[in-house]
Amino acid sequence: METLPLLESLSNAFGVSGFEDEVREKIQTIVAPFADALRTDVLGNLLATRHGRTERTFMLDAHMDEIGLMISHVEDAGFLHFVTIGGWDTRILPAHAVTIRTRAGGSVRGVIGSLPPHILTPEERDRPIPLDGMFIDVGARSADEVARWGVRLGDPAVPAYPFERLPDGSVLGKALDDRVGCVVLIKVLERLAAEAPEMTVVCNFAIGEETGLRGARTAAYQIMPEIALAIEGTVASDVPGVAAPRRLTTAGSGPAITLADRSLIVSPRFVRALERTAEDHHIPYQLKRPLYGGTDAGAIHTSVGGVLAGSVSVPCRYIHAPLSLLRLSDVEETIRLVTAFVLDAPRLFDG
């Protein structure tokens, strides 16, 4: 499957933290031909193994989940209240279209209600709406009608718009953090199918990163890797009004290698190995400015007896928002870097 339609399919899939089933089922079907072993663990992580010439294990990780909402109350008049799952900036939520996933697997569309400026006071116009003042309007006239449509307390929801292809190799889509990482892992597995890697490679498509790095932590105890690399969609803040020290990464400048973030200070040895791989294979790359964010690598490196871990990210503008933007060239170069790093790792770390 080509990178662009693969990214579109996974971006459009529903996968709020704790409800990753649709994403996992799509990935499982795609990677089955490239994996020597494939299983889903008790939490819902999908682990795909490509056996190497030795039992030394390299763990690749990308998370399937996206930030979202959960229905917390249904008013008698049919309006739905909600809480957030994961790290939302709640100022941006009003007026966005949402998709609610029912327990039966259906979808109900709605909008996060907002009042027109005509009836707001000057003070109200200047004040962000608090989360407990927001609601979802699905067009229902009563709580009974909401129930007939299958919506219940605890149902997940997400602001959602269709994936779009923009001119000059850019795309817009939801959940690019971290469906783009899942795409990278899929493409690496595809390329390794034609290789004979020295190390056994286990790709963990993780649940629950956005709610505490949960899936990666438990998966690492199962995999017991020697080396691990988390693949993320990270903040590209190369936009107007952002000073250079806060421009974590730049879209279009290749994969971003993490030096340190709030979950991990990467070993200089690991950083240099990634840099050498990129330079040896003529792959453009950039260094992500510290100390922002965190990835599954932060949970993996303190698992078992300790794991040599790092992170490589695809720059995405506007992550943790209803739509993000990335450049496909960054995705392709990240696939090249991760594939080369997996194959080169024994030489880089043993030499």
Distances (CA, A) of 235 to 128, 167, 314, 319: 24, 21, 9, 6
Q: Which amino acid is at 99?
A: T
Instruction: Give the neighbor-by-neighbor strand order of the sheet with 37-40.
Output: 37-40, 46-50, 200-206, 57-63, 227-235, 308-316, 256-258, 286-288
Burial (0-12, 13-18, 19+ Cβ within 10 Å), 29:
exposed
Q: Evaluate whether 168 touches 221 at the Cβ level (below 8 Å).
A: no
In sign, the C-alpha dihedral spanning 171, 176, 179, 180 is positive
What are the angstrom distances between the C-alpha of 48 and each of 21, 132, 190, 327? 16, 41, 11, 27
In the set 209, 210, 332, 333, the catalytic residue is: 209
Bridge-partner residues for 130, per DSSP?
A: none
Instruction: Please give the single-letter amino acid code of residue 98.
Output: V
- Judged on CB neighbours under 10 Å (0-12, 13-18, 19+), 64 is buried
Q: Is 209 a catalytic residue?
A: yes
d(CA 335, CA 285): 12
The pair phi, psi for residue 159, each rounded to 5°, is -60, 125
184 with 330: CB under 8 angstroms?
no
Cβ-based neighbours of 101, under 8 Å, separated by 6 or more: 14, 16, 19, 107, 155, 156, 157
Residues identified as active-site? 209
